[in-house]
Amino acid sequence: MTLPNLPRFSLAHLPTPLEEMPRLRTALQNEPGQHPVPRLLVKRDDQTGLATGGNKTRKLELLVAEALRLGADTLVTTGAPQSNHCRQTAAAAARAGLACTLVLGGNAPMLDGGNLLLDRLFGAEIIFAGSEDRLIAMQHAVDDLAAKGHRPFAITYGGSNPLGAAAYALAMDELVDQCAERGIRLDHVIVGSSSGGTQAGMVVGARALAAPVQIHGISIDLAEKTLVSNLVTLGQQTADLLGLDLTLADRDFTVHDAYLGGGYGVMGAAEREAIGLLARSEGLLADPVYTGRALAGLLDLIRTGRFAADETVVFWHTGGLPAIFAYEDALRG
C-alpha cells in the first residue's frame, strides 16, 4: 500500500534530520539501577524551518494549500496563549500573503512573551476568548469576518483534522525511508499527543506502509480512554481521506497518560528534569508544554524497563522552542 501525494504550499525544510542521541543514552546507562537503555534517536521536526520550526508546519503545508485553493484571504485558528500551532499558523499566513486571526483561550497575560510575542510580530490579529469556550469564540470570529466580506478558512485546534493529520502519515514515509537508508531497525516512536493529529497520522502512515513500529503517544492533557477514542476517529477519517483500505480500532493506538502532572501548560519537576538532561547531554532544547512532557514520559518508560537494550526508539521532536522563554521562573525551579 502506498501513500498518495497531496497538494502542498511549501513551508517546511524536508526531510528533517534523524540524529543519534548517544550522550543521552550513556547518561541513562550510568544511572543507578538495572534498566536496559535502547538505541535513542531524535527526529528533528523542531527544524522544519518556519518561525523556529515545529510539527505544525507539515500540517500547514496541506492546510494552506487547501485554503488557497478555496480562495481564502484569512486563516483563523485557536489555541492557548503559548500555542506553537498558532505561532506557526501566523507565520504561514504571512508567507502565503494571507491575513491571520488567532483566538486564544483565557485573558490577555500581563506581558507578551514566547509564542505570543511572535504571533504579534507575524501580524496576526489576536482575540482572547476570556470565559468563552475558544472553539465557540473562533466560530464567532469566522462569522464576523465573513459578515465583513472576508473569506476566512478555519483551522481546528492543533491543525488536527484529517487533512492536517495526513501530513504525518506522509512524515512516517519519510522516517521509514531514512531508517532504511541507514540500516536502522525502527521499533518505537515516542511523540507528545494532545489534539491527536500527529499521532493519528503516524499510525495511519505506519499501517499503510506495513512498518512494524509501535507509536507511543505521551498524553499532554487527556485521559487515555478519551485520547484513544479521539485518535481512532481522526485516524479513520485520515485513512479515508487518503483512500486507504484500513480499519482502525483502539488496539492500534498506544497512549500513556501517567505523565499529566499538574495539567496542560503546568511544568513540574519531571518536565524540568527531562529538559535539563536533554540540554546537558545533547545540546537540544525541549519545550515545557509538549516535548518536555513527552521526553519525561520517555525517560520514565526507559527507567521502568519498557524497552529492550537492542531496540531502537525515535523521539519525535515536535518543536516549541519559543515557549521556553515564557517559563523562565519554572525552569529555574
φ, ψ dihedrals at 154, nearest 5°? -85, 135
Do residues 144 and 209 both lie within one domain?
no
**Cα end-to-end distance, the chain, whole Å:** 49
pLDDT of residue 333: 65
Do residues 154 and 219 both lie within one domain?
no
Tally of domains in the chain: 2
Torsion, Cα of 50, 55, 59, 64 (10° steps): -20
Do residues 309 and 252 both lie within one domain?
yes
Residue 122 lies in a domain: yes
Do residues 149 and 76 both lie within one domain?
yes
What does the block give as the cell for 41? Answer: 534517536
Do residues 143 and 165 both lie within one domain?
no
Domain end position, chosen among 137, 159, 181: 159
Residue 142 lies in a domain: yes
Do residues 141 and 188 both lie within one domain?
no
Concerning whether 83 is annotated as a catalytic residue, the answer is yes
Domain end position, chosen among 159, 177, 193: 159
150 CB burial (10 A radius; 0-12, 13-18, 19+): middle
Do residues 172 and 292 both lie within one domain?
yes
Q: Using alpha carbons, select from 176, 169, 160, 164 the residue that is nearest to residue 239.
A: 169
- Count of helices and strands (H, E) across the chain: 11, 10
We report the CATH number of the domain holding residue 89 as 3.40.50.1100
Do residues 32 and 94 both lie within one domain?
no
pLDDT of residue 110: 73
* Contact by Cβ (8 Å): 279, 230: no
Do residues 113 and 251 both lie within one domain?
no
pLDDT lower than 70: segments of the chain: 1, 333
Residue written as cell 480500532? 249
pLDDT of residue 33: 84
Do residues 111 and 243 both lie within one domain?
no
Residue 248 lies in a domain: yes
pLDDT of residue 1: 57
Q: Using alpha carbons, select from 81, 233, 67 the residue that is nearest to residue 152.
A: 67
Domain end position, chosen among 110, 139, 159: 159
Instruction: Please give the residue range of the domain that contains residue 72.
Output: 56-159
* Contact by Cβ (8 Å): 117, 111: no
pLDDT of residue 328: 82
The DSSP bridge partners found for residue 193 are 219
pLDDT of residue 150: 98
Do residues 132 and 85 both lie within one domain?
yes
Residue 4 lies in a domain: no
Strands (E), the chain: 18-20, 39-44, 74-79, 99-104, 125-128, 152-155, 188-193, 214-219, 254-256, 312-317
- Active-site position among 10, 83, 194, 219: 83
Residue written as cell 518536555? 292
